[in-house]
Chains A and B, each alone.
Chain A
Amino acid sequence: MIVLEKRPQPSRAWSLATPVLAVVATMVFGGLLFALLGKNPVEAIRTIFWDPLFGEFAFYYRPQLLVKGAPLVLIAIGLSLGFKAGIWNIGAEGQYIMGAICGAAVGLAFYPLDAWYVFPLMVLGGALGGWAWAMIPGILKVRFGTNEILVSLMLVYVAEQLLASMSLGLLKNPEGFGFPGSRNLNDYPSASSWISQDLGMHWGVVAAFIAVIFAYVLLNRHMAGFHIRLTGDAPRAARFAGVHPGRLILFCLGVSGALAGLAGLFEVAGPAGQITIDFNTGYGFTAIIVAFLGRLHPVGILLAGGLMALTYIGGEAAQSQMALPAAAIQVFQGMLLFFLLALDLLTNYRLRLKTREVA
C-alpha cells in the first residue's frame, strides 16, 4: 500500500520538477485528446507550446505574451497577498472593470487636452476605482462580518451592468453614430498606455514587474508581509503577535483591488483601447488560478502568468491553423491545471510503499 508522508519541508527539487512533469503529462493526455478529434497531436502540441516562442511568427507572438500575461500577473500578485492571509477576494474581475471605467473616465474627461499629466491621473483613477470597489467587501467584512467571497463575487455582476450602462450612456463616444462604446484611447496619445506596440510593451507590463518585486520585498523583508503569512498559517498566534485583523483585511483587499483596477486601466488605455459592453474577458477569474499555480509566490506567479499566456496564445494559433474547436483548447488548459495541482503533492509529501501492519 502506498502512503503519504509529509515532508518536514517542501522539497526544493520537486517544486522545480513538478511543473515540468505536469506540462509533459498534459502534452501526453492533450495529445490523445487531439488525436481523438482527428488532429495531428504532435503538430498541435508544437503549435501551442513551441511556435509562439520560436516559430516563424514568434516575432509577433512573443510581444503578445507580454500583453496577455501582464494583467494576469498584476491581478494575481494582489490576490496572492490576501490568499496567503486567508482573505478571499474572488471578485477581481469586478475591480478590474471598475478600474478601467474610472481610469478611462478620467482620460475621456480631459479629451482632447494634450498634457503629460493626463495619463498619471488616469492611473490614479484606475487604482482608486479598483480600490474602492474592493473596499465594499472589505468594510462590510470588518464592520458586519459579512462573507467577502460572496460580496466580492456579487459585485462582479454589478460592475458588469455598470460597464454596459457606461458604454451605452455616460462614456459613449459622441462621434460614434449612436453605437455603444467609448472613444478609442489609442487615438488620444496623452491617454495611451502603450510604450511600444510592436514590442508588446505598455505600462501594465512595467507595473506587473514592479508588482512582483514589491510583493517579494513585502513578503520577505517587511513586517506587513510577516503578518500576512502569520495570519494565514496561525491566526491565533497572529493575534498574539499584535496583528490587527480588520486592518489586515482592509490592506489585503485594498492592495488587490488597486492592482486589479490598475490592470483594467492599463488594458483599456492600451490593448483594448475603449470601454465596451464586453470589455472584460475573465482576467480576474483566470488570475485566481494563476495565483495558485504560482503557489502564491511572486516569482512563481510571474512564471505561471507566462505559462497561462502561452496556452492562450498557442491555443488561439492552434484554432485557426488546425481548425481545432475552441472548446478543445479549454479542455486542454483544464488538464494542465489539474496536473499542476495534482503533482504539487510530490513537493509536500513523500510517497512510501508500506506493507500493511497487523494490528
Chain B
Amino acid sequence: MDISSINPVLLIASLMVAATPILLAAIGELVVEKAGVLNLGVEGMMITGAIAGFAAAVETGSPFVGFVAAAAGGAALSMLFVLLTQFALANHVASGLALTLFGLGLSALIGQSYGGVKPPPIGKLDLGPLSDLPVIGPILFSQDLVVYLGIALVAAVWALLKFTRAGLVLRAVGESHDAAHALGYKVVRIRILAILFGGACAGLGGAYISLVRVPQWTDGMTAGVGWIALALVVFASWRPWRVLLGAYLFGGITVLQLNLQAAGVAIPVEYLAMSPYIITIVVLVILSADKNKAPASLGRIFHASQ
C-alpha cells in the first residue's frame, strides 16, 4: 500500500466534481423544506432533469440549452407534486415517493432513443495563468462552470434566507403556515414557487451527471444520488453553507475510498464502500446536539379554512 500516491490537490478537484450533483439537488430541496414542504421526489426530478437536459443538448448541440431544459424538466415534474400536495392536499411523503417512481419510468421512456449517444462537450472555465497556479489552480480555477454555479447558488440561497424579505416570508411559511396565512401571505403560492425552484435545482443536478460527470444517458443513472441529497439537507440542519460542507464531505469520502482502493490499502471493499454512509450517520449524531431544528410545519398539509 502506498497512500503517498494519492495527490490531495487532485483529490479535492475530483471531489468538487463528484459533489456537484448532490449539492445542486440539496440546495433546492433546502428551499423547499424551508417553506415547510417535504418533497421526497428528488431522485425522480433529478433523473427527469438528466434526460431532459441530455436530449435538449444532443438535439441543439448546446450544453447551455441542455441545462436550461434540465431545469425546466425538473420543475415540470415538480408541478405534479404541486398539484398533489398543494391542491389535492395529499400526503407529502407518499406523493414524493410516487414522484420518484413516475420520474424513473418517464425518463427511461423518453431516453429510449438516447442510449449510446454522446452529448456535446461542455467547456471549462479558462482563466489562463490562474489555472496553472500550483495547488489552487486545479482546485479553484479549472473546474467547469456548473461547479461554480453550484457554489453561487448556495451563496444566493444563504443571502436570500438571511437578508431579504422574501427569505423571511419563506421561513415564516415554513415555521407556521397558519400564522403566515393570518398575516396575509399567500402560503400556497410561496410554496409552489419553492417547489418549482427545488425541481429546477434537482434537474440541474441530474443534467450535471448526464452531461458532464459521466457523460452519457442510461436508465436510472442517478443511482440514488437524490436520496443522498435529501439526507444532506437534514444533515446540514437546514443551513446553506452546511449543505456545501456536507456535499463536499460526502463527495470527498466517496472519491477517497476509491483512491484508497487504487492505492492498494488493505481494507475490505465493502467497508470502504459503506464508509460514506456510516460517517454521515456519525457526523449527524454529533451535530444533533445542535438545536437548529426542522421547520415546524415541515410536511404538514395546509388548508386555509375560512
Contacts and interface: CB of A to CB of B under 8 A. Distances in A.
Interface of A: 4, 6, 83, 88, 140, 144-147, 149-151, 153-155, 157-158, 161-162, 164-165, 285, 288-289, 292-293, 325-335, 337-338, 341-345, 348-349
Contacts of B98: 289, 334, 337-338, 341
A308 to B, nearest CB: 11
A325 B277 contact: no
- By Cβ-Cβ distance, the 8 closest A-B pairs, closest first, are A334-B102, A330-B105, A327-B108, A292-B94, A337-B98, A331-B105, A165-B270, A341-B90
B93 A88 contact: yes
Contact of B94 (A155, A337, A348): A337
B76 interface: no
Interface string B87-101: 011110111011101
Give the dominant DSSP class at A's interface. Answer: helix
Contacts of A154: 231, 277-278, 280-281
B101 A330 contact: yes
B19 to A, nearest CB: 17
Interface stretch (B59-67, B120-128, B282-290): B282-290
Contacts of B277: 154-155, 157-158
Contacts of A144: 285, 288-289
B208 interface: no
A191 to B, nearest CB: 25
Given A161-B270, A325-B112, A146 B285 contact: yes
Given A331-B109, A344-B88, A158 B278 contact: yes
A328 B277 CA distance: 32
A6 B302 CA distance: 12
A83 B91 CA distance: 11
A330 B289 contact: no
Contacts of B268: 165
12 contacts: A150-B284, A154-B278, A157-B277, A162-B270, A165-B268, A165-B271, A328-B109, A330-B104, A330-B105, A331-B106, A337-B98, A338-B84
A342 B84 contact: yes
Given A338-B84, A344-B90, A6 B105 contact: no
Interface of B: 80, 83-84, 88-91, 93-95, 97-99, 101-109, 112, 219, 224, 227, 230-231, 234-235, 268, 270-271, 273-274, 277-278, 280-281, 284-285, 288-289, 294, 303, 305
Contacts of B99: 334
A337 B101 contact: yes
B231 to A, nearest CB: 5
A337 B94 CA distance: 9
Given A158-B274, A341-B95, A146 B219 contact: no
A341 B91 contact: yes
A157 B95 contact: no
A280 B112 CA distance: 26
Given A153-B230, A165-B271, 16 more contacts: A144-B285, A150-B281, A153-B227, A158-B277, A158-B278, A161-B271, A285-B97, A293-B94, A325-B108, A327-B219, A331-B102, A332-B105, A341-B90, A341-B95, A341-B98, A344-B90
B231 A153 contact: yes
A330 to B, nearest CB: 3
A338 B81 CA distance: 9
B90 to A, nearest CB: 4
Contacts of A6: 303, 305
Contacts of A337: 94, 97-98, 101-102
A333 B95 CA distance: 13
A334 B104 CA distance: 9
Nearest to A330: B105
A326 B108 contact: yes
Given A155-B277, A289-B101, A345 B89 contact: yes
Contacts of B94: 288-289, 292-293, 337, 341
Contact of B90 (A164, A165, A326, A345): A345
A341 B108 contact: no
Most buried by B among A150, A162, A164, A326: A150
B294 to A, nearest CB: 8
Given A161-B273, A327-B105, A289 B84 contact: no
A345 B231 contact: no
Contacts of B294: 147
Contact of B93 (A140, A158, A292): A292
Contacts of A333: 101-102, 105
A346 B264 CA distance: 61
B295 to A, nearest CB: 13
B270 A342 contact: no
A112 to B, nearest CB: 28
A157 B288 CA distance: 21
A227 to B, nearest CB: 21
B109 A164 contact: no
A335 B98 CA distance: 8
